[in-house]
């Protein structure tokens, strides 16, 4: 009995998928995965990104997720827009990313003269911030549509941190807030599938 239901449902799914592909042939799914070198006034670091989306003609729109180890470890979640110049396999492109920078800092961290650990009476908390990335690049394409992606861009990453500690004179809790507005240069190497 189950086999009698399984085959018609399978055939219906295959027909719907092939019908959808014929009508949406102009849209192509792409996954762009990068490793990056990040440089700014706080040092040099590394990052990872994966952007997934659809392309129609020369315009690409997608959603990206990454790991950013610059100063503090964070997870950027962003929208990605790209425009490719030309119709050949090898082509230049420009991109713009914008989204939120999610904090993912270690529970215990050393931050200059203040070392925070469990039981110290000092508590620190990070807060999410903004993330942007603008740049240009070059793709060395393959016959199947993917290729090696090289890009250079400017990125902005913001993050807030609050540190609370007891004042030894009055025993009141003092809270300090730090704002990190980080401008960096990105050099990315990746693969477009």
Residue ranges and CATH numbers for the domains of the chain are 27-192 (2.40.160.20)
| Per-residue model confidence as pLDDT tens digits over 15-37 | 444 444 444 568 999 999 999 99
Tell me whether strands 173-192 and 114-116 are parallel, antiparallel or unpaired: unpaired
The span from the CA of 30 to the CA of 48, in Å, is 17
Q: What are phi and psi of 31, to 5 degrees?
A: -125, 120
- 3-class DSSP assignment, residue 110: strand
Q: Within 10 Å of residue 152's Cβ, how many Cβ atoms?
A: 12
pTM, two decimal places:
0.78
User: Residue 137 to residues 24, 78, 123, 155: CA-CA distances in angstroms?
Assistant: 27, 18, 43, 14
Question: Which pLDDT score is estimated for 120?
Answer: 57
| Per-residue model confidence as pLDDT tens digits over 95-151 | 999 999 999 887 655 555 555 555 555 667 889 999 999 999 999 988 887 899 999
Question: Which pLDDT score is estimated for 167?
Answer: 78
The span from the CA of 91 to the CA of 107, in Å, is 44
């Amino acid at each position: 009995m189950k086999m009698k239901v399984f085959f018609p449902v399978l055939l219906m799914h295959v027909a719907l998928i092939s019908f959808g592909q014929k009508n949406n042939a102009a849209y192509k799914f792409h996954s762009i995965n990068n490793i990056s070198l990040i440089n700014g006034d706080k040092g040099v670091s590394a990052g990872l990104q994966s952007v997934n989306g659809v392309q129609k003609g020369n315009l690409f729109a997608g959603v990206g997720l990454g790991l950013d180890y610059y100063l503090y470890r964070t997870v950027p979640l962003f929208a990605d827009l790209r425009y490719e110049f030309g119709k050949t396999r090898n082509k230049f492109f420009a991109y713009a990313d914008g989204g939120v920078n999610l904090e993912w800092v270690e529970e215990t961290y050393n931050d200059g003269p203040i070392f925070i650990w469990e039981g110290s009476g000092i508590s620190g908390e990070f807060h999410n911030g903004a993330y942007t990335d603008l740049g240009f690049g070059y793709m060395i394409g393959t016959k199947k549509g993917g290729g090696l992606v090289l890009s250079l861009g400017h990125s902005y990453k913001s993050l807030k941190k609050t540190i609370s500690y007891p004042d030894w004179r009055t025993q009141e809790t003092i809270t300090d807030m730090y704002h990190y507005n980080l401008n960096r240069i990105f050099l990315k190497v990746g693969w477009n599938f």
